[in-house]
Structures are given as structure tokens and as C-alpha cells.
Amino acid sequence: MAALTKHIGVFRTLKVHNIFYHNVSGQSADTSNVLSQSRNSVHRSVYSLHGRNSNHFNSQFGARSRSTCPVDFGADVVSALGTSHHGHSLFLPTSRLYGTLDYQKCWKCGKQIDSHREQFFCTCGVIQPPQQRTYFEVMEIQDGFDIDTDVLQKRFRDLQWALHPDKFSRNSKEEQGYSQQQSTLVNQAYRTLQKPYTRGLYMLQLNGQALEEGQIEMDPAFLTNIMELNEQILDTDSEELLEKIKGDMSAIISDLNRKISIAFNNHDFPLAKQLLAQIKYYVNIEEKIESMLESSDSSDKAA
């Protein structure tokens, strides 16, 4: 821990001058080397704390300066890293180490900007083009399966208002194009993170564990039960029965989401895949019932 604290001190000295763990192509060679060496020392110290060898370190960080490199942090490490003088975590998000933070220049005024704190607008007020970001970073929320969807929704509404293409209809073609791109990106991020199922699939993808079609072999008894449930909801005209089945599905989905959260927290991606493969069927049934009930309500109103 002492070695880690020593190297973190270097980071804190550098970050006071607004130099974080970014692509430092715009910095001097000496500063770049110091930052790179300190970054790797922190990585090695973290790996040492977790009992991982240098071969594992090299395989994770050898030549991946711009890739997403997950590292398990203990609470003591996160606490030691602290935050920048702008109130932002040195590593964003704190549960993962990202190597994609950059400085870039505003395409309009040429000012060097922090593409995380100013990922949508330069301080000169001009909208910026989208950068390579995770959806969690786009929405500026902590990455993880358990998120505050109320916060996500508020952030979405704020960004939707600020980036809507109609607001840039009288601006330059560049600004109109960037507005459309940023607005589309925010919509994609929101739709993906809003629901636990799509959020879970996205988290698997971020960790290089994408769930492929037909990858998980489902238990025949499970599939038989799903088939019987589908037949039951299609053969009934009883809204009461549909509501009961919907309640049962909601309870099952809630329990599976709890287990998926635990799996992700434990980095047990095979289990997360298995559970997400199961929850897909229950979500489909729940959505089918909701659609049937909505159609029934519409028919009653029309009558």
C-alpha cells in the first residue's frame, strides 16, 4: 500500500496542473514519461495488492493505451486515489480503469478542452463532436448494474433539451451535424442503460464477454415452462389471470436482477450470462402481457 501511495502522490502533483490519466500527446515528452511511468506503477501496485503477477499485468496493459482495462479496486485503493481539484474522480468510473480519457482542441476556437468535463460543449459555447465514450460516461453516471434510473432519466432530459437538433437549426452545418450525432448518442445510451436487461448485456460487452445468440444452452425443463406460460397467456381472455401472471413475472425478474447484480459485483461473467439468458424469456412474457392489457383497455374505450 505504501508503494501505491507514493505513486499516487505523483498523480496528485500532476493533476493539480490539470494533467490526468489522459492521452498526453499534447504534453511535453518529460511530463508524458513521468505520467506514463507513474500510471504503470499504480497499476502494478494495485495488481500487487490483489496478488496478481507481472505477466497478468503485461497481458492487461502491455500495449492497450486507449483500450478499456478493467481492474478490481478495493475500497482502500479508491479512497487513496481521491478526486481531482474539479471534484471528478481520477479514474472514471472508480470501479474500472479507463485509458480513453483525452484532451482535445475545440474545432471552432482551438482552445484545449477536457473532453470529459466538456464532452458536449466547449467553454466558448460551441457544441463538440462525439468522442469515444462508454454509455455510462456519456450519461455521467457510475458504471455498474445497479444505477439510479431517476438520475439517469433526469440527465437524459437535460441532455435531450441541450442537444436537440432544433436548437441548432440556424447554426453552421458542422454544429447541426454534431448536434444530431450527440443527440443520437445520448438516446442510444439512455435506451441501453434504462432497462436492467439491456444494461446487463451492455456490461458484458464492455468486459469483452458479449452474450452471443445460442451461446447459452438452456435447460429443457426451463424452456418447457416458458412455452406453457406463452400458451397460457395466448389462450386466456381473463384480464385477472393476465395480471396474476404479470405479477409472477415481475417477481421472478426482480429476483433474477438481484442475482445478476451480485454476479457482476463478483465479476462472475459466466453466471451473469446464464441469468441474462433466462431473464430475456421472462421479460418477453411480461412485455407481451402488457401489450395485451393495453389492447384490451383500448378496445374497451372504443366500445
| Rounded-to-10 torsion of CA 129, 135, 139, 142 | -140
- What does the block give as the cell for 50? 490483489
Lowest mean pLDDT among 74-88, 93-107, 108-122, 257-271: 74-88
CATH superfamily for domain 220-302: HscB, C-terminal domain (1.20.1280.20)
Which part of the chain is CATH 1.10.287.110?
103-194
| 254 CB-contact burial (10 Å; exposed 0-12 / middle 13-18 / buried 19+) | exposed
pLDDT tens figures, 224-274 = 999 999 999 999 889 999 999 999 999 999 999 999 999 999 999 999 999
pLDDT of residue 302: 58
* CA-wise closest residue to 101 among 86, 202, 150, 153: 86
- Cβ(251)–Cβ(235) below 8 Å: no
Which position has the higher pLDDT, 115 or 47? Answer: 115
pLDDT tens figures, 153-165 = 999 999 999 999 9
For residue 142, what are the contacts with CB-CB under 8 A and spacing of at least 6? Answer: 93, 94, 95, 136
| pLDDT at residue 121 is higher than 80 | yes
* CA-wise closest residue to 46 among 7, 12, 15: 7
| Rounded-to-10 torsion of CA 44, 47, 51, 53 | -60
CATH superfamily for domain 103-194: DnaJ domain (1.10.287.110)
> DSSP letter at 292?
H
pLDDT tens figures, 183-237 = 999 999 999 999 999 999 999 999 999 998 888 899 999 999 999 999 999 998 8
- Cβ(90)–Cβ(73) below 8 Å: no
> DSSP letter at 83?
B
| pLDDT at residue 21 is higher than 70 | no
* pLDDT category of residue 303 using cuts at 50, 70 and 90: low
pLDDT of residue 270: 95
> DSSP letter at 98?
E
Lowest mean pLDDT among 22-31, 110-119, 139-148: 22-31
Which position has the higher pLDDT, 293 or 98? Answer: 293
pLDDT tens figures, 26-84 = 333 343 344 444 444 433 433 333 343 434 333 333 333 333 333 333 333 223 323 33
* CA-wise closest residue to 200 among 143, 121, 244: 143
* CA-wise closest residue to 162 among 128, 199, 113, 117: 128
* CA–CA gap between residue 232 and residue 230 (Å, rounded): 5
Which part of the chain is CATH 1.20.1280.20?
220-302
| pLDDT at residue 117 is higher than 70 | yes
| pLDDT at residue 278 is higher than 50 | yes
260, amino acid identity: I
pLDDT of residue 299: 63
